[in-house]
Structure 1
Amino acid sequence: MNTIKINFLLFFFAIAAVSAQETQNAEQPTEPKVNTISQQFEDLLENSNNYQEYKVVKQNALQKLKSNAADSINGLKGQIVGLQEEIQTQDAKISELNKSLEDTQGTLDQTRAEKDSIFFLGMPMSKGSYMGMMWGIVAVLALALIFFIFKFKGSNAHTQEARQKLADVESEYEEYRKKALEKEQKMGRLLQDERNKAVKKQ
């Protein structure tokens, strides 16, 4: 029975304290300030009364905190939706830029390939292959030139030898012709002498 009376008295004092606090707050109104939800919870706990191990809070303050929390949550949800839309927009831009970058890279690779290649007889060739082929052709032509030079020198030597032989043959022929002419003249004189002798005998 004494316990019930003590609890009743404590409850009465708590109600009286809350009423006095509400009267004091009504007499000295404070300007509302913008705080975070965490700060509002701390303010609520600081402005609440103690009853045994419990905190006695004002219902309107709790409702206001609930409303503020709901507003903050809705605002955060709106920010999340806006950020998600912004992220989707940024992702679309990034995809578009990546595609543009790939197209640009492809064009650049094609330009480099065309720059590094040379069309020879209608066929594209790399500069390295083209230079190798050109130097190969030059080497073949140089070898052919050396071969023809040696062949020309050999042919020239044979020609000079043939000319020398021809000159010798012509010289021998001229000598033979002179001897044959002298012999023919000598035989003609002998024949004329024999004729003359025959005429004299008759």
Structure 2
Amino acid sequence: MNKLFILIIFILGYSFSGKAQDTISNENENPIQKQFEDLIESSNNYQEYKVVNYDDLIKLKNNTNSYIQTLKNQISTGKKTAANQKKEINNLETELKSTQQNLQQVNEEKDNIVFLGLPLTKGTYMAMMWGIVALLILALLFFIYKFKNSNSVTKEARKRLDDTEREFDDYKKKALEKEQRLGRLLQDEKNKVNRMNS
């Protein structure tokens, strides 16, 4: 935008300098000056006076008035042009200021992120996101630790249960064998008693 503004100022300055040079060249080619010189040269001498042709003098007067009016018109046009150019410069400066404000707003919006309805800078957003990721990783590690711990406790409990079931099966087996042995002994004793009675 600054380059555009400088380019516009350069073009306006160049056009002003071109008009100033035209004015200087017009002054150098002043037709009234030449007419005065021609009138003086063509006039007759009378003692120390110059006798001038009345028609040429009137023509010079009219040309001078016409030339003065032309210069006034050029000055008026130049003033209008200068006023218009000043107005354009003011408009361009206003547009430049507005564009710079819009650019600043766009840059601020670009640097901000809206998260859950809150405007955050990119740095804050990134810090918050990495914080959330870190918390999730810590939570995952905690749950993995808890799972492994629970798993080892569960395995230990199953092992104890299996050992207890084996011990119980052994106990049942021994108790059954003992019961059978006692049953046989009882039967033998009954048989002995029966034999003795008969």
Same fold (TM over 0.5): yes
Q: 2:87 aligns with which of 84, 92, 100?
A: 92
8 Å contact kept, 1:45–1:55: no
RMSD over aligned Cα atoms: 3.9
- Give aligned pairs, total: 168
1:184: Cα distance to partner? 3.3
Percent of aligned positions with the same letter in both sequences?
A: 53
1:51: Cα distance to partner? 8.2
Q: TM-score, normalised by structure 1?
A: 0.58
Task: Specify whether residues 199 and 86 from structure 1 end up closer, same or farther in structure 2 by C-alpha distance, changes over 3 A only.
Answer: same
8 Å contact kept, 2:112–2:121: yes
Structure 1 residue 56 corresponds to structure 2 residue 22: no
Which structure has the larger Rg over C-alpha atoms?
A: 1
Q: 1:147 aligns with which of 142, 150, 153?
A: 142
Distance (Å, rounded) in 2 between the aligned partners of 1:143 and 1:57: 116
Distance (Å, rounded) in 1 between the aligned partners of 2:100 and 2:189: 117
Task: Specify whether residues 201 and 38 from structure 1 end up closer, same or farther in structure 2 by C-alpha distance, changes over 3 A only.
Answer: farther
Matches within 5 A, 1:1-202: 36-48=31-43, 56=50, 58=52, 60=54, 61=56, 64-103=59-98, 106-107=101-102, 110=105, 118-125=113-120, 129-191=124-186
Task: Specify whether residues 137 and 51 from structure 1 end up closer, same or farther in structure 2 by C-alpha distance, changes over 3 A only.
Answer: farther
Note the residue ranges of structure 1 that are not aligned, 5 or more in a row.
1-33
Note the residue ranges of structure 2 that are not aligned, 5 or more in a row.
1-28
Q: TM-score, normalised by structure 2?
A: 0.59
Deviations 1:43-86 (A, max 9, x none): 3444456789x773627455654543343222212221122223
Distance (Å, rounded) in 2 between the aligned partners of 1:51 and 1:126: 96
2:75 maps to a residue whose letter is I
Distance (Å, rounded) in 2 between the aligned partners of 1:131 and 1:149: 27
